[in-house]
Amino acid sequence: MIKIRFYWDKRGYLEAEAAEGNKLLEDFFATEIQGRVDLCEDCLEQVEKFSENKQGLGGYGGNITSVEFVNDKAIFTNEFDAESYGSLEIKLYDFKELLIQCLDFLINEQNNLKD
């Protein structure tokens, strides 16, 4: 399982910090989830739908970083500079767990703002 830490930067944007070699994963959460519960839930829903049937390809297109679901893998690429960034492949199950972790972070942060 990939360890990742979610936090808000000085400007109030969601950031993700993971071990070296996971830059595309960090970028995905920052640029595609953007600190929004609805986007995180939507991506999680896409993963769950794909996990149920695993037929063909699935994915979650992004502004900068996209993820493609193939069999039991999530493959991340940078839409603008795939050559420099390469790709990152992780288990689909691990990606689902990271989405749940991010969603928990976002919901907890919203609840803290209400208090």
Per residue in 14-47, pLDDT tens? 999 999 889 999 999 999 999 999 999 999 999 9
pTM above 0.75, yes or no: yes
How much is the pLDDT for 112? 73
DSSP state of 21: T
**Exposure pattern of 91-103 as b/e (b: 16+ CB <10 Å)?**
ebeebbebbebbb
DSSP 52-66: HH--S-EEE--SSEE
* Contact assessment for residue 95 and residue 67, using Cβ atoms and an 8 Å cutoff: yes
* Contact assessment for residue 91 and residue 73, using Cβ atoms and an 8 Å cutoff: yes
CA 56/CA 21 separation, integer angstroms: 28
CA 6/CA 12 separation, integer angstroms: 12
CA 54/CA 77 separation, integer angstroms: 20
Please compute the mean of the pLDDT values over residues 55-82 and round it to a whole number. Answer: 83
Task: Return the H-helix or E-strand segment holding 111.
Answer: helix 92-114
Please compute the mean of the pLDDT values over residues 85-92 and round it to a whole number. Answer: 91
What's the helix, strand, coil split of the chain in %, to 5?
50, 25, 25
